[in-house]
Structure 1
Amino acid sequence: MLAHRQPDLSLVMDNVNKAHNLSAIIRSCDAVGIHEIHAVSYRKNIFDRQTAAAGTTRWVEVTLHQSITSGLSMIAGRGMQILAASGSSKNVDFRSIDYTRPTALILGAEWDGVSTEALEAADHHISIPMHGMIESLNVSVAAAVILFEAERQRTAAGMYSRPMLEKESFDRLLFENAYPRLGRILREKGLPYPELDVNGQLPSSCHDSDMPDTEGVCSDSGLY
């Protein structure tokens, strides 16, 4: 999973407030290898909802922002092209975009759509062609359709065949996902993670601990 993560592909939820939509979007992001997504809302309780929705998967990091402007400024600073899914007159077919470039996709709620601030900050406005009476797809469905076009292009370009995460992040996430309870204890005590062997196993200096809910600790970590 970590070897397929795409740190230069992300998504921004602009006032997507329904927990079931948040959860479905996060699952789609995980499926295409997105490592981090962003969210902002004017509703005071949305941060609790987004945190709860993020709990449906522990594989995708959700960064919450107080404003869409601050969130997009940070993303632009990483050199990402910003795409806004909208029905504006400037939109283009979502399949015409080059998703092998560092890319962040903005999605808004079905009723309000993407905010004016986000539209103004976007490099491209995109839309999904439809031929029925319905004017828009559910936001989580739209996210999946667009993200899997990005996955298709990136697969064709070989971007999933080589690790793209920096080694430090890769090693940290590998340890936290393989040994979540031990990782939590070490973080709480401010201690470094032991280096895993080539098979992802703890080194021989690690032993079982009498502490509850642990999977073993290292004698040289100060916990044994």
Structure 2
Amino acid sequence: MTDEEVIHLRPSEQEALPEDFQLRVQLCEQLASFVSPRRLERLEFALAHRTRWITVALEDVFQTHNASAILRSCDCFGVQDVHVVDERNEYTIHRQIALGAAQWLDLYRHTGADSAEAVDRCCKSLKSSGYRLVATTPHEGATDLDDVDVGRGPMALLFGTEYTGLTEVAMDHVDEAIRIPIVGFTESLNVSVSAALILKQLTTSLRNRGDVDGRLSESEQVDIRLAWLRRSMRHGEAIIRRFLTDNGVEPVTSETGEVGPQQIVPDVDIDEVADI
């Protein structure tokens, strides 16, 4: 692993799947035939409400329970991508708090020679992908959450460490700042609570607009549907391997013997998934 890499916390499973779009659609149909109608309906409902118009970037969030709670909020409100910089505080997922949310998200870790460089690269990467960087801050001068215009373009919400907030490096890249209006004596909310309130407000605003389509593209939906189906089945890898063989596609096998790279985030608890 080099300093220059952006590491996907769950290595891309797409490498093991056919590049041909129609084959991927057929593989989705094959996997879906092994899933109960109730579970499939839940997956499709969640997928229809997923968005990449809004994304989240976490800069050295210190407390594991806060980081995990933010993942849970991203899943609950349909935000698919989360970017992480953890050069100072290693990013870990608390299973009981995240409640499996990480399995349904795409998580990216940005690295560098030091924390400042990692933050700089993360911000530049998001901007190059078309996002405007939005700092979340309790300070005066920021736009009140109720007044934020989600229609101005895709937005990456930046959340900083619980103790000092976003660093100067991150703030130097920021296009705008937003705040949750506070009328009490306490200056700010817990970072995970702030994230939940902001995500609920902005995703609701996005879906209520008629002039902005924040939904995933058809290709993105197929890729995510494939990932979700394979993670929610006990024998998904065997079914995929058979499909690839039957269609003349050479499967890519990891060192663990499974099709595709090894998953880094906690494994799916199939018994929990069965309840979705």
5 Å matches for 1:14-29?
A: 14-29=59-74
Residues 3 and 163, structure 1, Cα contact 8 Å, conserved in 2: no
| Cα deviation digits, residues 102-125 of structure 1 (max 9, x gap) | 111001122110111111111111
> In the TM superposition, what is the alpha-carbon distance from 1:191 to its structure 2 partner?
7.4
Q: Partners of 2:242 and 2:144 in 1: how far apart? A: 49
Q: Which runs of 5+ in 1 are unaligned?
A: 196-212, 214-224
AA aligned opposite 2:225: L
Q: Partners of 2:160 and 2:80 in 1: how far apart? A: 20
SS at match of 1:129: coil
Q: Partners of 1:78 and 1:88 in 2: how far apart? A: 28
Residues 91 and 126, structure 1, Cα contact 8 Å, conserved in 2: yes
Q: Which of 67, 79, 97 in structure 2 is aligned with 1:34?
A: 79
Q: Which runs of 5+ in 2 are unaligned?
A: 1-45, 112-117, 248-257, 259-276
Match of 2:159 in 1: 107
Residues 23 and 56, structure 1, Cα contact 8 Å, conserved in 2: no
AA aligned opposite 1:175: L
| Larger RCO: 1 or 2 (CA < 8 Å, sep 6+) | 2
Match of 1:206 in 2: none
Find out whether 1:166 has 2:210 as its counterpart.
Answer: no
Find out whether 1:56 has 2:67 as its counterpart.
Answer: no
Q: Partners of 2:143 and 2:68 in 1: how far apart? A: 27
AA aligned opposite 1:156: N
Q: Partners of 1:106 and 1:34 in 2: how far apart? A: 14
Deviates more, 1:51-60 or 1:95-104: 51-60
Q: Partners of 1:51 and 1:190 in 2: how far apart? A: 35
| Cα deviation digits, residues 159-216 of structure 1 (max 9, x gap) | 89x78223233222213322334544577x6975999xxxxxxxxxxxxxxxxx9xxx
TM-score, normalized by length of structure 1? 0.74
Find out whether 1:98 has 2:142 as its counterpart.
Answer: no
Equivalenced residue count is: 192
Structure with the largest fraction of strand: 1
Q: Partners of 1:90 and 1:165 in 2: how far apart? A: 33
TM-score, normalized by length of structure 2? 0.61
Q: Which of 139, 142, 166 in structure 1 is aligned with 2:194?
A: 142
Change (3 A) 1:64 1:192: farther
Q: Partners of 1:17 and 1:193 in 2: how far apart? A: 45
Change (3 A) 1:178 1:42: closer
> What is the Cα-based RMSD across aligned positions, in Å?
3.1
Q: Partners of 2:167 and 2:121 in 1: how far apart? A: 14
Structure with the largest fraction of helix: 2
